[in-house]
Amino acid sequence: MDSISSHQPIDSLGFVYRFLPGAQASATVLLLLHGTGGNESDLLDLGRSLLPDAILLSPRGKILENGMPRFFRRLAEGVFDEEDLIRRTHELADFVRAAAKQYQFEGNRVIAVGYSNGANIAASMMLLRPEILNGAVLFHAMVPLVPEKLPNLSERPVFLAAGHHDPIILPENTERLAAMLKEAGASVSLKWSEGGHQLNVEEVDEAKHWLVNAFAR
């Protein structure tokens, strides 16, 4: 299936992206969201590793920071441009909805898989557009924003992976995000590693096991 893919022009659905079909049209959809400096191809192998039969939808962030793609602007390390974050979150959510219509996949089977900047916008989407995602795998995420009102995330499973020695995200920030999602009703699994900000094999293995159990059907 990996040999069948799509590179769509940016004016098709609003993003440069990759689409890889799954084992069947009703398969789970993994929305793959790269970190700063990544692109639409970066997480395809990760997606296949996590859920081999899944449909993969992988957009490229539209913001450039020193030539590196991101999903939203920041003012400094760990300081987000909240107005831009909110706008880009809705833009990305609308892209997923349009892609579901174009590729005829089930909109209620979309799980975000994000790393760093991608995980942050995935968390933002859970908080601002919860109808888009059925769950999320967030590698090295931090609190993206605090919404005026928490959404109802009951029956939404979320996997959080974080490193005790992450120089970018303090442990208490990860704990705050986990607590916020739990308060909204999400079922949160928080896994710590002894690593830093880089994605590691231990986290991927934990996420793979979690996905199989959380979305076994």
Would you please indicate which residues are annotated as catalytic (active-site) residues? Answer: 116, 166, 197
State the Cα–Cα distance between residues 147 and 128, nearest whole angstrom.
7
Question: Rounded CA gap, 206 and 198, in Å?
Answer: 15
How many angstroms separate the Cα of 189 from the Cα of each of 116, 173, 177, 195, 208? Answer: 17, 15, 12, 18, 13
DSSP string covering 161-191: EEETT-SSS-HHHHHHHHHHHHHTT-EEEEE
At which residue do the structure tokens 């069948």 appear? 4
What is the number of other CB atoms lying within 10 angstroms of the CB of residue 92? 27
Which token pair is 97?
């909805």
